[in-house]
Structures are given as C-alpha cells and as structure tokens.
Amino acid sequence: MYSIVIHGGAGNITPAIMNAEQEALHLAGLTAARDSGFEVLKQGGTAMQAVEAAIVSLEDNPLFNAGRGAVFTKKGLHEMDAALMNGSTLDAGAVAGVRNVRNPIRLAREVMLKSGHVFLSGSGAHEFALMQGLDLVHDDYFFNQDRYDQWVAIRDSDFYQLDHKGDNLKGSIPSTDHKFGTVGAVACDTRGNLAAGTSTGGMTNKRFGRIGDSPVIGAGTYANNKTCAISCTGHGEFFLRGVVAYDVSCLMEYAGLSLQEACERVVNGKLKAMGGEGGLIAVNARADDYFCFNSAGMYRAMRNSEGKESVACYG
Ligand code: ASP
C-alpha cells in the first residue's frame, strides 16, 4: 500500500471567508498537487519524489503561500523557507530566507544531496542555487495583488500576519486576506519508505530575517521510517518551541503511541495548551494517513492505493 497526504495551510478557514469560486479553486489546486504526487507513487517512484512533485505543484500555484504565492516581507520582498526529509536514511535538506528561487523545495533537495550540509540560508543558499543551476525568477514572478494589498495594509506598522489567520499578531488591524498558506506533503511509497516536505513564504510583513518552523527539521518537518512523516502548518513560533514534528515521532518511538494518538496528543494537547494554532499531516510506514488541526480549518487532501481519497478545507 502507498499513500500521499498534502496540506496548503491551516488556520481560520471557514465558509465565511471564501466564496464558492475561491473554494473550488483551492480544492482544484489541492487535487492537482495530490494527484501529481500520487502518480509518482503509482509509477513506482519514491516517497521523496512524490513529496517533491506535490510541493512543486503547490509552489507553482499562486493561491498558496509558497513559491509563486509567497507573501511580502516588511521590505516588500519574498523570502522563502523549505525542507525535505527522507525517512529511510534520515537525510535532510533545508533552506531559509531564499529569494528568487522558483521552487525552494528543489533547492532543499539539492542541499541534501550535494552540499554536505543540512541547512543553508540567505545569500549563501542563493549562491548554492546558482551553482546547481536551479530555476531562478525575477521578483515580479511573485507579485500577487491580493498579497500586495494585504502587506500594504500593515507594512508601516509593527504587525506581522500569518497568511492563514483572519487577524494580525500583536494587533487588531482587520485582515482582508482570503488566501492561506504554507504547503506540505508526506508520503509512504510501495517499499514502505517515508518522506516529508514543507515550503512557505512565512508571515506577511516579517522582518529581521525571521524564520518559522517549516524549514527546521524536527519542528515543522520530520520523517523516520520507524515512526512517521510529518509536515506542519500554523503559527511557527509555537511549533518551533514545541518541536512538534519530532515530538509526534518520539511519542510513537519511545512511548508506543499510535500515529493518531501521537498527533492528537501534540496538536490538541501540548500545542493548544501553549496557545499554538495550526495543524499537521501525517503518514506512517503502513501508509495510514492522519490530518490533525486545532484551527477552524486546514487545506488538505490525501489519496492511497486502496482507493481512499479526500480533499477538504473546513473543520
Ligand atoms: N508555519 C509557517 C511559519 O510560521 C506559517 C504557516 O504555516 O502558514 O512560517
């Protein structure tokens, strides 16, 4: 059995913030990304390849806060984070604060395979992307009127904003944004190997080189064949402090919890108690899937070789 599970961000996602057309577009984007990953698995490809294919599809879709749809920073730029982890070898690659890279998840893969390191950032990561011949694009590629308006509304303030929340952190400027963010995928392939990946533009109006949980191995992204593959989305500062993805894996490895029990314990127990909003997607080496979130909704989809499939937005 094999399966793929994806997300496009968790947060205040309710019917009240989306019209039928927006909802249909998101569901179509999620379905296309899920199916591109599923096709890889069906052809006998690896979990790593499937996760990358699904995330590239979401990065190329301006609806999601990753790659092309990345939000604006305080300086009006797009600084992206991504990570990829192989559950069979525990190899991992990650990048933070990269600009002009069309598909940060591909750069994370190259870091894993060719840099001799795990985590590269900023100008050094950019230099490495150039060396590896990755697709680079102009700032205009990332322009999106909705996200621009969202940024303009708060750029002169100290507020920063989670792409998937209807309100602002450290303040109460009402958000008009209806687009939600960060993308991720986890997969179990025909050999029972697991992989996890996450890609994001982070938070609107972020500054000082802020990095969230998404590219941090163990916080936003983690995979281990012994336990599970996890990709998180939500208020990154809490996921970092809760070491969320690794915590789920640890509960399975050391305390013997099931995939579902471990996810619930972390997301609806520990994380919620800390005040952290968001969720995660998970798969184990038997290809069981699980979605878990403590927010109103999460953009999500899954499909497995037994014919089970779903795509949804709301709680
Ligand atoms: N976790 C991401 C971050 O804090 C944001 C998100 O999931 O939407 O950068």
Of 6, 78, 161, 200, the one to substitute when testing ligand 1's pocket (max ligand atoms within 8 A of C-beta) is 200
Q: Which residues contact 202 (CB under 8 A, 6 or more apart)?
A: 65, 70, 71, 73, 79, 80, 81, 210, 211, 212, 214, 236
pLDDT for position 271: 97
Q: 13 C-alpha to center of ligand 1: Å?
A: 15
pLDDT > 70 fraction of the chain, expressed in percent and rounded: 94
pLDDT tier, 164 (very low <50, low <70, confident <90, very high otherwise): low
Q: Which of 210, 209, 185 is nearest to 199 (CA)?
A: 185
For residue 191, the CA-to-ligand 1 centroid distance in Å is 31
Q: What is the 3-state secondary structure (H, E, C) of 141-174?
A: HHCCHHHHHHHHCCCCCCCEEECCCCCCECCCCC
Whole-angstrom distance, CA of residue 5 vs CA of residue 9 = 13
Residues lining ligand 1, CB < 6 A? 9, 65, 162-164, 181-182, 200, 202-203, 212-214, 220, 233-234, 236
The catalytic position among 14, 73, 176, 182 is: 182
Task: State the pLDDT at residue 148.
Answer: 81
Which pTM was predicted?
0.94
Residue 236 Cα to ligand 1 midpoint, Å, equals: 5
**DSSP, residue by residue, 190-229:** TTS-EEEEEEE--EET--TT---STTSBTTTEEE-TTSEE
Distance 228 CA to ligand 1 centre (A): 21
What average pLDDT does this structure show over 176-205? 87
pLDDT of residue 123: 97
- Widest pairwise Cα distance in the chain: 52
> In a 3-state reduction of DSSP, which class is residue 28?
helix
**What does residue 281 show for φ and ψ, rounded to 5 degrees?**
-115, 150
Q: Which amino acid is at 68?
A: R
Calculate how far, in angstroms, residue 296's C-alpha sits from the geometric centre of ligand 1.
16
Domains in the chain (CATH in brackets) are 3-314 (3.60.20.30)
Decide if pLDDT at 259 tops 90. yes
Residues with Cβ within 8 Å of 249's Cβ and at least 6 positions away in sequence, in order, are 222, 224, 227, 228, 230, 262
Q: Please give the number of the atom of ligand 1 that sits closest to the Cα of 65.
A: 8
What integer pLDDT is reported at residue 230 of this predicted model?
A: 99
Whether pLDDT at 160 is above 80:
no
Residue with CA closest to ligand 1 atom 8: 182
Ligand 1, atom 4, lies closest to the CA of 236
Q: Which atom of ligand 1 is nearest to the CA of 163?
A: 8
- Please report which confidence band the pLDDT of residue 268 belongs to, taking 50, 70 and 90 as the band edges: very high
Q: How many contiguous H segments (helices) and E segments (strands) does the chain have?
A: 9, 14
**What per-residue confidence (pLDDT) applies to 29?**
98
Q: Which atom of ligand 1 is nearest to the CA of 220?
A: 1
Determine whether 190 is an active site residue: no
Cα(251)–Cα(253) distance, integer angstroms? 6
| pLDDT digits 0-9 by tens, 6-58 | 999 998 888 988 889 999 999 999 999 999 999 999 999 999 999 999 999 99
pLDDT tens digit sequence for 85-143: 999 999 999 999 999 999 999 999 999 999 999 999 999 999 999 999 999 999 999 98
Atom of ligand 1 nearest to the CA of 239: 1
What is the pLDDT at residue 163?
Answer: 66
Predicted local confidence at residue 208, as pLDDT? 94
